[in-house]
Amino acid sequence: MPGTYAGCILRVNLTEGRIEKERPSEEVLRTYIGGRGLGSYYLWRMMDPTADPFSPENPLIFATGPLTGTPAPTGGRYMVLCKSPLTGLIACSNSGGKFGAELKAAGYDMVVFEGEAREPVYLFIQDDRVELRPAEHLWGLDTHETTDRLLEEIGDERARVACIGPAGENRVRLACVINDKHRAAGRSGVGAVMGAKKLKAIVVRGTRRPEAPDKQVFMDFIRQKLGILEKNPVTGEGLPRLGTKVLDSIINENGLYPTRNFQTGVFDSTHEVSGEALVEKGYLKKNRGCYACPIKCARVTELPTRSKGEGPEYESGWAYGACCGVKDLIAVTEANFLCNRLGLDTISAGVTIACAMELYEKGYLPKEDLGPGPELHFGSSEAILYYTEAMAYRRGLGDKLAEGSLRLARAYGHPELSMSVKGQELPAYDPRGAQGHALGYATSNRGGCHVRAYLISPEILGVPEKLDPQSTEGKAQWVKIFQDLTAVIDSIGLCLFTSFALSVEDYRDLLSAATGFDYTVEEMMTCGERIWNLERLFNLRAGMDPSQDTLPKRMLEEPMPEGPNKGAVVRLSEMLPEYYRVRGWDETGQPTPDKLKALGLA
């Protein structure tokens, strides 16, 4: 098996309790790389995309990349793939920590779960020893309790655990998979699919580390890339100093910091909940990194309430802060801790509560529906904590919140108040302030998502070059490049943050040295394009209509009311036809036969 690939895929049939191993072909590995690419390929081959996400026919795939578990900078990433219960489209959620590296060290490129267990189980992996074990005693525990109980049970503190909390058990469509207590495969409801399969956790301990064909060449490249990351102002200074919350003030000053469910792009109390405030108030104790990470952007925090944990990161802090109009940093941080323990996607959870707040304040959500809960006013610290827990356990109004903002808003007759794309809630950048980023939102294969094409980098931060955020010219080409490159980065097993500093050539160097496949830049980027088109095919087969390549009505028709982007709307109609042309798709957004043939997807 080439280079740093483990050369083994675990197939776990939960219905029958059967575990098998198979060897992936070298041709498929070279064509789809690993991680997101290899997982998407298997998902496409294994299931009917029209199947119900909660049915046994929906596989759940944990996939590492060829650089996962190696000394390559940030080489600890893994992906969780399935059909999303939130969007009905492909779900592919990325996480860091140390779980992915441990899975690779145990000797597996992927674990594929099929079917559904009769009773709760967890999967135990110790190198070649693989067992399904009863998990009734773990059902109902939060992610921290589950992790502690399992490590005590197996008697090895060096093992790594990925698990779900009560949200996943209760099939909350916003549920995520939590590993190492604080890292999340966060988006699209992958934890709910894990809960539907009655799979509580995966515990893994590995003793074999992947090795490149020429270790010296590989290590020389690693040292070179580490130097680039260290000298870069974002990866070498900004992220290590303040983590992702270095963005709060920057995005607010640029007028695209979504506030009160995206009603405006300026939050007057940003200074109260920013990364700087986390330091000044003494809540930040230290930073921490994932496996092989030189950036160390994670925040280890402790509150005056004695609550401890990691975070909040930029997106989490914004979702429970500005998006809900809350300026109480303690409440925002407590909500973040709560999501990690309950197993909830902080972005979708916070934005769904913000949607409920707007529905309530406009009189669409009646007071009697709140039951014993607090009123849903913007700015309520009590509300964000109460309804987060209610959501995870589907208590009272929490049962509707657990369905996500689009289903919630539809239930009250106002779907336009759901700030989502294809059913998934938008992250912390108002698209009216960055036209290219807006196009990335609209065309994302997994719905509202900022990490499939992070055009904030050139449009706001000026990396790799500064673009006019309000210009639409050339943005379609930029979005395509970012989408294809992100597919590559997700597939090789590195963190997307490395793209602030590393070039396409840098990724090619590392990938070729690790695998022994001598990729050209063009071949590698074609892999990314192939993965993107395969995901598109999955979504179309699942029932997606290209008319869903759009944004909430607010972004297209309601001008930004204040700030640097006052008067702006997203000019999607200027960009979308060009995007389809650049992609080689027809005018309706369907990949053409010629494009599919060129990518080997015909």
Which pair of structure tokens corresponds to residue 466?
A: 């500064």
- For 464, phi then psi, to 5°, come to -80, -10
Residue type, 311: G
**How far is it, in rounded angstroms, from Cα 68 to Cα 97?**
11
pLDDT, position 27: 96
Report the helix count and the strand count for the chain, using DSSP H and E.
Answer: 25, 17
Same domain flag for 339 and 455: no
pLDDT for the residue 2: 83
Q: How many CB atoms neighbour CB 94 within 10 A? A: 23
Q: Which of 424, 456, 486 is the last residue of a domain?
A: 424
Q: Are residue 417 and residue 445 in the same domain, yes or no?
A: no
Domain assignment present for residue 545? The answer is: yes
Indicate if the pLDDT at residue 406 is higher than 80: yes
Q: Nearest 5°: CA angle at 554, between 578 and 189? A: 80
In terms of domains, do 88 and 157 share one? yes
Q: Note whether 353 and 410 are same-domain residues.
A: yes
CATH number, domain containing residue 165: 3.60.9.10
pTM, two decimals, is: 0.98
Whether residue 487 contacts residue 36, with contact meaning beta carbons closer than 8 Å, is answered with: yes
Which range marks the domain in which residue 352 is found? 244-424
- Among 162, 167, 164, residue whose Cα is nearest residue 202: 162
Mean pLDDT for all residues in the chain: 97
- Measured on CA atoms in the order 429, 431, 437, 441, is the torsion positive or negative? positive
128 and 51 housed in the same domain = yes
Residue 2 lies in a domain: no
| Same-domain status, 469 and 531 | yes
**Same structural domain for residues 388 and 271?**
yes
Does residue 213 lie in a domain region?
Answer: no
Nearest residue to 292 (alpha-carbon basis) of 504, 100, 541 = 100
The C-alpha atoms of residue 555 and residue 94 are separated, in whole angstroms, by: 27
At 33-55, the pLDDT tens digits run 999 999 999 999 999 999 999 99
Instruction: Enumerate residues 6+ apart whose C-beta is below 8 A from 474.
Output: none
Q: Which is nearest to 494 in space by CA: 474, 516, 514, 520?
A: 514
Tens digit of each residue's pLDDT (9 = 90 or more) over 475-499: 999 999 999 999 999 999 999 999 9
Q: Are residues 365 and 303 in the same domain?
A: yes
The lowest-confidence range among 120-124, 309-313, 536-540 is: 309-313
Assess whether pLDDT exceeds 90 at residue 181: yes
List the one residue out of 486, 472, 385 whose CA is nearest residue 436. 472
In this structure, the answer to whether residues 94 and 32 fall within a common structural domain is yes
pLDDT of residue 242: 87
Name the nearest CA neighbour of 93 among 144, 131, 36, 31.
36
Q: How far apart are CA 159 and CA 148, in angstroms?
A: 11
Residues 412 and 469 in one domain: no
* CATH code at position 275: 1.10.569.10
Q: How far apart are CA 169 and CA 566, in angstroms?
A: 44
What CATH number should be reported for the domain holding residue 460? Answer: 1.10.599.10
The reply to whether 489 falls in a domain is yes
Whether residue 130 sits in one domain with residue 29 = yes
pLDDT of 144 higher than 80: yes
Query: pLDDT digits over 203-232, tens only?
Result: 999 999 999 999 999 999 999 999 999 999
Counted domains in the chain? 3
Share of the chain above pLDDT 70, in %: 100
CA distance 66 to 491: 8
Residue 512 maps to a domain: no
Question: What is the rounded distance in angstroms from the CA atom of residue 255 to the CA atom of residue 486?
Answer: 26
Express as a percent the part of the chain with pLDDT over 90.
99
395, 424, 453 — which closes off a domain? Answer: 424
C-alpha 133/C-alpha 124 separation (Å) is 7
CB atoms within 10 A of CB 542: 19
Of 403, 424, 445, the position where a domain reaches its end is 424
Alpha carbon 417 to its chain centroid, in Å, reads 23
Q: How many residues does the chain have?
A: 602
Q: Is residue 232 part of a domain?
A: no
- Is residue 344 within 8 Å of 93, Cβ to Cβ? no
Distances (CA, A) of 51 to 57, 93, 471: 7, 19, 41
Helices 475-492 and 572-583 pack at an angle, to 10 degrees, of 60
Q: Do 43 and 192 share a domain, yes or no?
A: yes
Residue 334 located in a structural domain: yes
Note whether residue 224 is domain-resident. no
